[in-house]
């Protein structure tokens, strides 16, 4: 790119597997698909010495609460949303062929249904030259957006539409045009896992199934490969259609040990953010362990009882604040309390529980009569598993605890994270549990694994 081309800055939200973009040129900035915590966007615009004049949405998002409406209000920018989406706020509705002018740069709207019915992509042009396309949940890196989020009755129609949308993008743009998707970096909005940090139309022509397969093969394989997605998705579209409230990232009120105990005894959600091994070594009886790591918000949002009071326990106030930000991104606002400190000091007169942590070598060495609980998704289990293991995917476990056989339970997943949450669920029931905090590749190496036949 020449020095006169627009600057495209990526705003990564790795915990949700998404990207937002700030495109700046000649002191003007356009933001595409912003997350709810808009302070990051405002800081970046200041750094670029650019005024935000437009905020563009590719679609009504299902995996996070948008910051678009609040960002537009805070900056006075024009808020651009695909026409046809029945939103409850003022915006500029755009359809195929419309052009958004931002100084000398323009964004041409391309209707690319598939992920949703009204989904659009935006082609960035400088003069007549196309520079990049922002594809939202349409063309991803080596994949496409999933097509089942609006209900099974729409999946077949949307999957065919997705095929034609990606084909249209590739047919109408030169091979060297850069592709900038919103989803596909770990987001469950991706139909299949993606790879790579950047791509072009030409590269996608070599790797994207919508461009390398015939239509029916693409449709059949995409639908067959769709896995479960987080339960909180059901709330995101509703919030985004109504218009999200401004974000509140203030630290939740402190809670003392007696109140912590009362909340746990009342059956409230008391979530411990500390490292999974620290939780195993000692935690409040009845609390749940959700280590604050990359996938924290996905799995807490998946299992959380929507609207239930939520109290956070952490090592530091920074940990509490980070979790509060992550939760706000999916519409879990204002946790009802927080507690920071050494776990025995937070227990007061309450009981501190613990359980064992091991690895797959430890599992191979045990000669005890145990149950192995595999908390991976059914597709992962089908690809290969430990013979005799009971498969209950983590997102189903809260409602299937009674199916876990009596006695000692060793619990695993692919890396240890999902297993750590499952172990805390079992421990809350006062089950005897051992967390296998290990990569499943080691089970394969130790020949504990039987592959799909």
Report the CATH number at residue 192. 3.60.15.10
Lowest mean pLDDT among 26-30, 48-52, 224-228, 399-403: 224-228
In this structure, are 340 and 429 located in the same domain?
no
Q: 342 is in which domain, residue-wise? A: 257-353
Residues in the chain, how many? 453
In this structure, are 292 and 345 located in the same domain?
yes
Pair type for strands 129-136 and 120-126: antiparallel
Q: 373 Cβ partners below 8 Å, 6+ apart? A: 389, 390, 392, 404, 409, 410, 411, 412, 422, 426
Whether residue 251 lies inside any domain: the answer is no
> Is 453's pLDDT higher than 60?
no
> Is 252's pLDDT higher than 80?
yes
Q: Give, for 442, the enclosing helix (H) or strand (E).
A: helix 440-445
Rounded to whole angstroms, the Cα distance separating 19 from 32 reads: 9
Whether residue 322 lies inside any domain: the answer is yes
Mean pLDDT of 253-262: 96
Domain end (from 319, 353, 387):
353
- pLDDT > 70 fraction of the chain, expressed in percent and rounded: 99
Would you place residue 347 in the very low, low, confident or very high pLDDT band (cuts 50, 70, 90)? very high
Rounded to whole angstroms, the Cα distance separating 49 from 9 reads: 13
CATH number of the domain bearing residue 369: 3.40.250.10
Would you say 123 and 108 are in contact if contact means Cβ atoms under 8 Å apart? Answer: yes
In this structure, are 396 and 276 located in the same domain?
no
Total number of domains constituting the chain: 3
Mean pLDDT of the chain: 95
Q: pLDDT value at position 440?
A: 96
> Is 1's pLDDT higher than 60?
no
In this structure, are 326 and 381 located in the same domain?
no
- Residue 416 is encoded by which pair of tokens? 């240890």
Domain end (from 321, 353, 385):
353
Whether residue 250 lies inside any domain: the answer is no
Q: pLDDT value at position 191?
A: 84
In this structure, are 201 and 227 located in the same domain?
yes
Whether residue 194 lies inside any domain: the answer is yes
What are the φ and ψ backbone dihedral angles of 283, each rounded to 5 degrees? -155, 160
Would you place residue 143 in the very low, low, confident or very high pLDDT band (cuts 50, 70, 90)? very high
In this structure, are 207 and 315 located in the same domain?
no
Whether residue 432 lies inside any domain: the answer is yes
In this structure, are 283 and 301 located in the same domain?
yes
Angle between helices 152-172 and 215-225 (to 10 degrees): 130
Q: pLDDT value at position 2?
A: 40
SS3 state of residue 307: coil
Rounded to whole angstroms, the Cα distance separating 278 from 276 reads: 5
Rounded to whole angstroms, the Cα distance separating 51 from 49 reads: 7
Whether residue 1 lies inside any domain: the answer is no
Would you say 297 and 325 are in contact if contact means Cβ atoms under 8 Å apart? Answer: no
> Is 3's pLDDT higher than 60?
no
In this structure, are 381 and 410 located in the same domain?
yes
SS3 state of residue 220: helix
> Is 209's pLDDT higher than 50?
yes
In this structure, are 136 and 221 located in the same domain?
yes
> Is 322's pLDDT higher than 70?
yes
In this structure, are 197 and 276 located in the same domain?
no
Whether residue 221 lies inside any domain: the answer is yes
Whether residue 248 lies inside any domain: the answer is no
Would you place residue 193 in the very low, low, confident or very high pLDDT band (cuts 50, 70, 90)? confident
Rounded to whole angstroms, the Cα distance separating 288 from 323 reads: 14
Other CB atoms within a 10 A radius of the CB of residue 316 amount to 12
In this structure, are 388 and 436 located in the same domain?
yes
Rounded to whole angstroms, the Cα distance separating 426 from 433 reads: 7
In this structure, are 170 and 154 located in the same domain?
yes
Domain end (from 209, 242, 275):
242
Mean pLDDT of 260-287: 97
Q: pLDDT value at position 186?
A: 87
């Amino acid at each position: 790119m020449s020095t006169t081309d627009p600057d495209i800055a990526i705003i990564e939200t790795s915990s949700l597997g998404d990207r937002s973009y700030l495109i700046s040129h000649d002191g003007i900035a356009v933001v595409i698909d912003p997350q709810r915590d808009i302070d990051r966007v405002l800081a970046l615009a200041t750094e670029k010495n650019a005024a935000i004049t437009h905020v563009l949405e590719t679609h009504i998002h299902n995996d996070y609460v948008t910051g678009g409406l609040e960002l537009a209000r805070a900056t006075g920018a024009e808020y651009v949303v695909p026409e046809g989406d029945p939103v409850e706020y003022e915006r500029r509705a755009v359809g195929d062929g419309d052009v958004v002018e931002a100084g000398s740069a323009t964004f041409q709207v391309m209707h690319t249904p598939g992920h949703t019915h009204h989904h659009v992509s935006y082609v960035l042009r400088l003069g007549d030259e196309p520079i990049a396309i922002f594809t939202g949940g349409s063309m991803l890196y080596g994949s496409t957006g999933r097509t089942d989020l609006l209900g099974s009755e729409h999946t077949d129609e949307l999957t065919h539409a997705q095929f034609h949308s990606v084909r249209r993008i590739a047919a109408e743009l030169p091979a060297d045009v850069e592709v900038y998707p919103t989803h596909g970096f770990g987001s469950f909005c991706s139909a299949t896992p993606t790879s790579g940090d950047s791509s072009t139309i030409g590269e996608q022509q070599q790797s994207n199934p919508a461009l390398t397969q015939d239509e029916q093969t693409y449709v059949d394989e995409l639908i067959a490969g769709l896995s479960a997605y987080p339960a909180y998705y059901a709330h995101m579209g509703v919030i985004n259609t109504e218009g999200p409230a401004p974000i509140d990232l203030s630290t939740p009120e402190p809670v003392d040990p007696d109140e912590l105990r009362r909340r746990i005894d009342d059956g409230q959600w008391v979530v411990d953010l500390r490292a999974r091994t620290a939780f195993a070594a000692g935690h409040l009886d009845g609390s749940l362990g959700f280590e604050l790591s990359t996938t924290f918000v996905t799995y807490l949002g998946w299992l959380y009882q929507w609207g239930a009071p939520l109290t956070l326990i952490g090592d530091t106030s920074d940990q509490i604040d980070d979790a509060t930000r992550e939760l706000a991104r999916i519409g879990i606002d204002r946790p009802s309390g927080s507690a920071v400190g050494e776990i025995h000091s937070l227990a007061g007169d309450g009981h501190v529980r613990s359980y064992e942590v091991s690895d797959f070598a430890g599992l191979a060495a045990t000669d005890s009569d145990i149950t192995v609980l595999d908390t991976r998704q059914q597709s992962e289990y089908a690809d290969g598993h430990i013979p005799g293991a009971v498969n209950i995917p983590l997102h189903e476990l809260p409602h299937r605890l009674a199916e876990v056989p009596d006695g000692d339970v060793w619990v695993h997943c692919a890396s240890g994270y999902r297993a750590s949450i499952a172990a805390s669920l079992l421990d809350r029931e006062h089950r005897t549990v051992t967390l296998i905090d290990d990569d499943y590749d080691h089970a394969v190496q130790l020949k504990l694994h039987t592959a799909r036949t």
